[in-house]
Amino acid sequence: MQNVVFNNGVEMPILGYGVFQIPDYEECKKSVLAALDAGYRSIDTAQAYGNEEAVGDAIKESGIERDEIFITTKLWISDYGYDRAKLAFERTLNKLQLDYLDIYLLHQPFNDVYGSWRALEELNRVGRIRAIGVSNFYPDRLTDLAEFNDIIPALNQIETHPFYQREEDQKTMQKLGVQHESWAPFAEGQSDFFNNDILKKIGGNYGKSVAQVTLRWMIQRSIVVIPKSVTPSRIKENFNVFDFELTEAEMKTIAEMDTQKSHFFDHRDPERVSWFKSLI
């Protein structure tokens, strides 16, 4: 497995397994066990996903040593603020049945980001979190957080896929020393993603699927990726992306697919911010 190295020296597998939209306990636990059996050693969950207990039970049942598994989870905006963040962290740790987290992310760039970040900084300093980061932060918000706090985020998890490639965001992250991570690498199947002619043609050169080509494209851009599936065969397929390499021409062809627009929503849209407030 190829690893990336954070700005604080902590290493993370470049390919992991995500559990977004798997709220059912049994299905989530079964899927995480399948992923661990396939070779994944990085699992991404979140407080808002409602499945931290299932992830924790799967890790325990797997019998794999704790230091061999990299665990990511995220603080939800309803628990932002210095004191609330610390309490939420303890609840999350109990659900996961862990003594520490590998990385803990602020899930959204709203509410009391800075009070929450101070809590995460303290938890990082005392060793209860190995690294801290953010999710869904655009370049201006990421730069603000990095420049005006003691600890620069180790990672920023943002929507990234062939239709929305985030080149400018990645340049800002590289300048700040923040690792780029993708969510929704397959655009959640929108725009008939899995039948895309360009990606299918490239995959045909290697006997690989559209999903595998996409994951390989991310990895060659040094982007951490966390594909989700509940189908064991696809979980295995998504892991099998280290035995081929896209050419420079193929990378450029995929680059031309970029629409530079989100396929979901813009976190800078005032109406979207109000929508997030309604979720609290």
Q: Which of 17, 40, 49, 80 is catalytic?
A: 49
State residue 210's pLDDT score.
Answer: 98
How many distinct structural domains can be found in the chain?
1
Residue 107 in marked binding region: yes
Tens-digit pLDDT profile for residues 238-269? 999 999 999 999 999 999 999 999 999 899 99
Overall pTM > 0.75: yes
Q: What is the CATH number of the domain that holds 88?
A: 3.20.20.100
Confidence of residue 23 (pLDDT cuts 50, 70, 90): very high
> Smallest Cα–Cα separation from 71: which of 48, 50, 99?
99
Please state the rounded mean pLDDT for residues 209-233. 98
Alpha-carbon 200 to chain mean position? 25
Beta strands at 11-13 and 3-5: parallel, antiparallel or unpaired: antiparallel
- Per-residue pLDDT, 80: 98
Note the pLDDT of residue 64: 98
134-188 per-position pLDDT tens digit: 999 999 999 999 999 999 999 999 999 999 999 999 999 999 999 999 999 999 9
pLDDT band at 40 (very low <50, low <70, confident <90, very high): very high
Q: In the predicted model, is pLDDT for residue 193 greater than 90?
A: yes
Checking if the pLDDT of 279 tops 90, the result is no
Check residue 11 and give its pLDDT: 98
Q: Which residues lie closer than 8 Å to 10 by C-beta, 6 or more apart? A: 102, 103, 130, 131, 154
Tell me the average pLDDT across 101-130: 98
Has 17 been annotated as catalytic?
no
Rounded to the nearest integer, the mean pLDDT of the chain is 97
pLDDT of residue 246: 98
On the question of pLDDT at 235 being above 90, the answer is yes
Q: Is the pLDDT of residue 227 over 90?
A: yes
10 Å CB burial of residue 176 (0-12, 13-18, 19+) is middle
Q: Which domain holds residue 97?
A: 3-278
Q: Name residues whose C-beta falls within 8 Å of residue 173's C-beta, 6 or more positions apart in sequence.
A: 142, 156, 179, 180
